A and B are shown apart, each in its own frame.
Chain A
Amino acid sequence: MPVTHPTTHPTIPDYACDVLQVNDLHFSYPDGHSALHGVTLSLCKGDKVALVGPNGAGKSTLMLHLNGILGGKGGVSVAGMPVNDKNLPQIRAAVGLVFQNPDDQLFSPTVFEDVAFGPLHMGYPEDEVRDRVETALARVRMSAYRDRLSHHLSMGEKKRIAIATVLSMSPQLLVLDEPSAGLDPRARRTLIHLLKELDITMLVSTHDLALAREIFPRMVIMDEGRIVADGPTAELLENVPLLEAHGLEKP
C-alpha cells in the first residue's frame, strides 16, 4: 500500500536513513507565495527516488533546499550534516544538484573547464582534477567531448555534461531537476541507461512517469507544497484515482 502522509508530519519516518533527512520543512518566497508546507522525506544509501507532481507543486523549491540555496523553516540534513551556513561548503560537495536547464550549469567555454570547476574550487591538486574530469566524462560516455565548446552541443549532450559536472565532485546524493525534459527519444534512452548504471543515491524530479517506472523503485508524489504519497513506484502507478487527483497520468 502506498504511504499517504498527513498534512504535517513532524515525526521522522520509521526507517532512519541519513543520506538525506528532510524534517517538516516550510518555505515561503519573499513575495509571500508559500511553496512548501511541512515536507518530510528521507533517503537511504543507494535509494533511487522519483519526485513527481504537477508544475508548481514545490519540487524545484524542495531541491533548492537540499544544498542550502534556499533556507526554509525546518530541518534538512545531508550525509548526517545539518544544512547550515557552517556546513554549506561541505554540503555542496555532498549534493550534486543538476539544474533543469543545462545552459545554467555550463558556464565555462569548454566542456573540460566546466567539469573541472567543482574539483578545482574544492582545492584538489591538478593531477587529481584531471583524473576526476576523465572519470566523470567516461561515466557519462562523453570523453571525446573534452575540448568541445559547451554552447554548441545538443540538448542531450548538454544534459550529460551537466551530470558530469557534479559527478566530478563525487557527491553522495545526486539531485536532478527534470532530466528528460526536451530530449528526443534516443537522447532520453541514453539518459535512462546512464541513470540506471550510476551507482549513487539519487532524487530525480520528473514529469516522465514511464521513465520513473523504468529507473526508480521508489516514487514520491508532491502537490501544493506537500508530499501526498511515498511508496513503491509500481504500486503508486496502479493507483489511478491518486494519480488523477494530482494532475498525473498513468503511463
Chain B
Amino acid sequence: MHADAFDRYYAAESTLHRLDPRIKVVVTVLFILSNALLLDGAWAAFGLGWIFLLLANSASNLGVDFTFRRSFIALPFMLVAVSAIFAPSGQPLAEWRVFGISLVPTDVGVIRFGSILLRTWLSVQAGILLVAVTQFPDLIHAFEHLRVPAVLTTIIAFLYRYLFVLTDEVLRLLRARDSRSAAIPGQKSGRSVFWRAQIAGHMAGQLFLRSYERSDRIYNAMLARGYTGQMRTLRAHVMRRRDWLVLSVSILALLFVQLIGRIG
C-alpha cells in the first residue's frame, strides 16, 4: 500500500499536456498576477478571466469543469476574506450585533469581498490546472530554466520525492500501532487521552529522528556520486513555434482582460 494522495497529475493527450512546461508556468503566473491587478468590482474582466480559464480547461481534454470541480478545496481559505465585508468606508447596508460587538457591512466591503473571492477562485483554479497537466519533474525543470535559485528548486524536488517515503512511513507506523491497540472484554481500553497523546508525540519524535538520519544517508549517497551542490537533469525542453504562439496569444488575452478591467 502506498500513498499517492499527493500526485495531482492527470495523464491525457492534449495541447496543454504537450506544451513546454516553462510556458505553462509563465502563463499561470501572469494569469494570477492579472487577477491580482484587477480593480474591485471589475466584473466584466473577471468574467473574461473565467472564460480564459474555461478555454484552457477545454484545451486540456480533462473536461471544461475540471478545475471548477476541484476548486472547492480552497473555499475555507477564501473565507478568511470575510472581514473585508466590514470595510469602514462606504455606505452601511445593515448592522449586526455579534457578542455585543456591532458589525456593519458596507457596499464597498461587499464588492471588495466578492472581488477577493473571484480573484482567489480563479487563481486557485489556474494552479490546479497547471499541476494537473504538467509532470512534477517538468515543473521543477521549468523553474530551473526560469532562473529560480537552485537551492529552492532542489528543496522542492526533495520535498516532493520524500513526501511519499515519509507518508508511507507514517502509514506503516499507524498500522503497527493499530495492530497492538487491543482490548480485553469488560475492560476499558485506550487509557487516557493524555496517554494516547504521549504515544502520538513519541511517534512524531521517532519520525523526526528517522527523517533526520535518512537525510544524512541521502546526502552521503549524493556526495558518493559526485554531488557538488548543482542538480543536473537531462530533460531538454525546446521551445517550438506552437509554444511561442500560445505564449503570445495568452499575453494578448490577459492584456485585453486588463484593458476591459480598466475601462469597463
Binding site for B on A (CB under 8 A): 29, 31, 64, 67, 69, 89-95, 97, 99, 101, 103-109, 113, 117-118, 120-124, 151, 165-166, 169
Contact = CB atoms under 8 A, between A and B. Distances in A.
Contact of A151 (B182, B191, B206): B206
Given A104-B176, A124-B184, 18 more contacts: A89-B182, A89-B183, A91-B182, A92-B178, A92-B179, A93-B184, A103-B210, A105-B176, A107-B173, A107-B206, A108-B202, A117-B199, A120-B195, A121-B189, A121-B191, A122-B189, A123-B183, A123-B189
A69 B210 CA distance: 24
Given A107-B203, A123-B191, A90 B185 contact: yes
A95 B180 CA distance: 9
Contacts of B179: 67, 69, 92, 95, 97, 99
Q: Which 7 A-B pairs have the closest CB atoms?
A: A89-B183, A93-B182, A92-B182, A104-B172, A118-B180, A123-B187, A104-B176
Interface in B174-209: 175-185, 187-191, 195, 199, 202-203, 205-206, 209
A169 B210 contact: no
B101 interface: no
B interface SS class: helix
Contact of B202 (A99, A103, A107, A166): A107
Contacts of A124: 184, 187
A69 B184 contact: no
Contacts of B206: 106-109, 151
A64 B179 CA distance: 9
Interface of B: 1, 4, 169, 172-173, 175-185, 187-191, 195, 199, 202-203, 205-206, 209-210
A98 B183 CA distance: 18
Contact of B182 (A64, A106, A169): A169
Contact of B173 (A97, A104, A118, A169): A104
B180 A121 contact: yes
A89 B181 contact: yes
Contact of B187 (A91, A103, A122, A151): A122
Given A99-B176, A104-B175, A118 B182 contact: yes
Contact of B184 (A103, A104, A113, A123): A123
A92 B180 contact: yes
A122 to B, nearest CB: 5
Interface centre among A69, A106, A121, A165 (most CB of B within 10 A): A121
A7 B184 CA distance: 38
Contact of A89 (B1, B175, B189): B189
Give the most central of B177, B185, B210: most A CB within 10 Å: B177
Given A67-B179, A90-B184, A122-B187, A109 B202 contact: yes
Contact of B176 (A91, A107, A120): A107
A118 B209 CA distance: 23
Contacts of A118: 180, 182
A118 B177 CA distance: 9
Nearest to B207: A107
